[in-house]
């Protein structure tokens, strides 16, 4: 029998009302929202009633998506579904760390709040942009990026999609270069050039913040965005490195499958990861849980 991987959504799929049905129908999910409100008053209200503009602010997005992600995972576990592996895309990795027991829920939530503050500050001080590039292999995208200053592949999402970060003044010429190579580039609606050297100050700040945090061994293996392998060694260093280095999502999914995963359950908001898993390997099953209907059908 195959194994189950829980994958935690990242920033970008947030929407007004996220997590509300699980809050109303799952005691385990409600406990996560209550914890978030005890640390950061109004988090649940932002998730349920916040405007799109309010939720798009990194300092709000990260704690809110974390809460919706972890609440969905706990609702799935409450149904008796046992995960064998976990991974999260970008900020989703912090929710995976809480689910796995590496951090307590409150420690992880405080960490993601600080992460959002630091990344927002870095984005303001080092402005940049991100482009999703389709129809080109990663090595060709790397080759094109090398011809531009301060331009980096930052999310290796699937064989069909890689995201790059760059300076604002490079955007038009970079998009034209991808088009000339028979690819297609779409600018992402994000507030910074995440997972790149643009975030170096945020990574250092987060490392300093974690100095007093103690980490536990995971109950469920968590695959690192930075290494694409289960967490081992210096957990603090892995969390720091994740902020300013590429997310190797395709490799994470491939490694989970190699380790026996044949069912992926995306927990949190949207279906981005569900779609990416399907593009990486069509032989495995990928489903999402973000509302009551999903939870009942799982």
Please choose, from the candidates 223, 161, 162, the residue with its C-alpha nearest in 3D space to the C-alpha of residue 8.
Answer: 223
18 vs 14: CA distance, rounded Å: 7
26 included as an active-site residue: no
Taking each helix axis from N to C end, the angle separating 272-280 and 249-258, rounded to the nearest 10 degrees, works out to 60
* Listed residue (119, 124, 51, 71) closest to 91, CA to CA: 119
Query: Is 195 one of the catalytic residues?
Result: yes
Q: How do beta strands 3-8 and 129-134 pair?
A: unpaired
Set 90, 100, 158, 224: catalytic member? 90
278: nearest Cα among 147, 155, 160: 160
DSSP class of residue 223 equals B
Cβ-Cβ contacts under 8 Å for 16 (sequence gap 6 or more): 48, 49, 50, 51, 52, 55
Q: Quickly count helices (H) and strands (E) in the chain.
A: 14, 8
Of these residues, 191, 195, 196, 224, which one is catalytic? 195
Catalytic residue numbers, as ranges:
90, 195
């Amino acid at each position: 029998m195959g194994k189950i991987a829980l994958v935690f959504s990242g920033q970008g799929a947030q929407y007004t009302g996220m997590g509300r049905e699980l809050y109303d129908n799952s005691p385990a999910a409600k406990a996560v929202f209550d914890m978030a409100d005890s640390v950061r008053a109004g988090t649940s209200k932002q998730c349920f009633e916040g405007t799109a503009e309010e939720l798009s602010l990194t300092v709000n997005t990260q704690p809110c998506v974390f809460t919706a992600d972890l609440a969905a995972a706990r609702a799935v576990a409450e149904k008796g579904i046992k995960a064998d592996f976990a991974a999260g895309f970008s900020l989703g990795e912090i929710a995976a760390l809480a689910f796995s027991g590496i951090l307590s829920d409150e420690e992880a939530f405080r960490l993601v709040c600080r992460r959002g503050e630091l990344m927002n500050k870095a984005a303001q001080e080092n402005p940049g942009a991100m482009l999703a590039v389709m129809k080109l292999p990663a090595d060709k995208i790397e080759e094109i990026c090398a011809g531009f200053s301060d331009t980096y592949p930052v999310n290796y999402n699937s064989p069909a999609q890689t995201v790059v970060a760059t300076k604002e003044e490079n955007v038009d010429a970079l998009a034209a270069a991808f088009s000339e190579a028979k690819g297609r580039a779409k600018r992402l609606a994000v507030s910074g050039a995440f997972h790149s050297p643009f975030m170096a100050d945020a990574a250092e700040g987060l490392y300093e913040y974690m100095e007093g945090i103690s980490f536990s061994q995971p109950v469920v293996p968590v695959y690192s965005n930075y290494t694409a392998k289960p967490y081992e060694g210096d957990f603090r260093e892995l969390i720091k490195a994740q902020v300013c280095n590429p997310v190797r999502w395709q490799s994470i999914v491939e490694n989970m499958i190699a380790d026996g995963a044949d069912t992926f359950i995306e927990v949190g908001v949207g279906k981005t990861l569900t779609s990416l898993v399907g593009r990486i390997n069509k032989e495995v099953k990928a489903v999402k849980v973000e509302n009551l209907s999903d939870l009942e059908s799982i």
